[in-house]
Amino acid sequence: MLRWFQRGKKQRADGLYRYGNERLIELQDVIKTYDTAAGTFTALKNINLKVDDGEFVAIVGKSGSGKSTLINMVTGIDRPTSGHVFIGDTAVHELNEGQLAQWRGRNIGIIFQFFQLLPTLTVVENVMLPMDFCNMYAPRERRDRAMKLLEQVEMAEHADKLPSATSGGQQQRVAIARALANDPPILVADEPTGNLDSRTAESVFELFESLVEQGKTIVMVTHDQDLAKRVSRTVVIADGQIIEQYLARVFPSLSEAQLVEVTREIEPRKYSAGEVILHEGSTVEKFYIIIKGGVQVVIDQPQTGEIVVASMGPGQYFGEVELLHGGHSIASIRADLHHGVEVVELDDDTFKRLAAQSSELRASVDRTAHERARENLTARGRKVHRG
Ligand code: ADP
Ligand code: MG
Q: Which pLDDT score, from 0 to 100, does residue 279 have?
A: 94
How many whole angstroms separate alpha carbon 382 and alpha carbon 114?
67
Which comes out higher in pLDDT, residue 224 or 185?
A: 185
64-84 average pLDDT score = 96
One-letter amino acid identity for 17? Answer: Y
Distance 231 CA to ligand 1 centre (A): 25
Q: Which pLDDT score, from 0 to 100, does residue 270 have?
A: 87
Q: Is the CB of 66 under 6 A from ligand 1?
A: yes
% of the chain beyond a pLDDT of 70: 92
- Beta carbons of 270 and 332 less than 8 angstroms apart: no
pLDDT 10s digits, 235-268: 888 889 888 777 888 888 888 778 877 877 777 7
Q: Categorize the per-residue pLDDT at 1 as very low, low, confident or very high, splitting at 50, 70 and 90.
A: very low
Q: Categorize the per-residue pLDDT at 90 as very low, low, confident or very high, splitting at 50, 70 and 90.
A: very high
Residue nearest to atom 27 of ligand 1 (CA): 34
How many whole angstroms separate alpha carbon 376 and alpha carbon 387?
14
pLDDT 10s digits, 309-338: 999 998 899 998 888 888 788 889 999 999
270-286 average pLDDT score = 93
How many whole angstroms separate alpha carbon 318 and alpha carbon 312?
9
Q: Which pLDDT score, from 0 to 100, does residue 379 have?
A: 58
Whether 294 has a pLDDT exceeding 90, the answer reads yes
Distance 357 CA to ligand 2 centre (A): 33
Q: Is the CB of 20 under 6 A from ligand 1?
A: no
- Taking a 5 Å cut-off on Cβ, the residues next to ion ligand 2 are 67-68
Distance 367 CA to ligand 2 centre (A): 44
Cα 93–chain centre separation: 18
Which comes out higher in pLDDT, residue 7 or 140?
A: 140
% of the chain beyond a pLDDT of 90: 59
Q: Which pLDDT score, from 0 to 100, does residue 376 have?
A: 63
Distance 69 CA to ligand 1 centre (A): 6
Model-level pTM?
0.74
Whether 93 has a pLDDT exceeding 60, the answer reads yes
Which comes out higher in pLDDT, residue 230 or 218?
A: 218
Q: What are phi and psi of 175, to 5 degrees?
A: -60, -35
pLDDT 10s digits, 154-208: 999 999 999 999 999 999 999 999 999 999 999 999 999 998 889 999 999 999 9
Can you tell me which atom of ligand 1 is nearest the CA of 66? Answer: 6
Q: Categorize the per-residue pLDDT at 27 as very low, low, confident or very high, splitting at 50, 70 and 90.
A: very high
Q: Which pLDDT score, from 0 to 100, does residue 4 have?
A: 46
- Beta carbons of 208 and 227 less than 8 angstroms apart: no
Distance 12 CA to ligand 2 centre (A): 36
Q: Give whichever of 119-128, 224-233, 253-262, 316-325 has the largest mean pLDDT.
A: 119-128
Q: Is the CB of 63 under 6 A from ligand 1?
A: yes
Q: Is the CB of 67 under 6 A from ligand 1?
A: yes
How many whole angstroms separate alpha carbon 48 and alpha carbon 35?
22
Burial of residue 133 (number of CB atoms within 10 Å: 0-12, 13-18, 19+): middle
Residue nearest to atom 5 of ligand 1 (CA): 66
CB-hemisphere CA count at 13 Å for 317? 24
One-letter amino acid identity for 149? Answer: L
Q: Which pLDDT score, from 0 to 100, does residue 327 have?
A: 76
Distance 29 CA to ligand 1 centre (A): 18
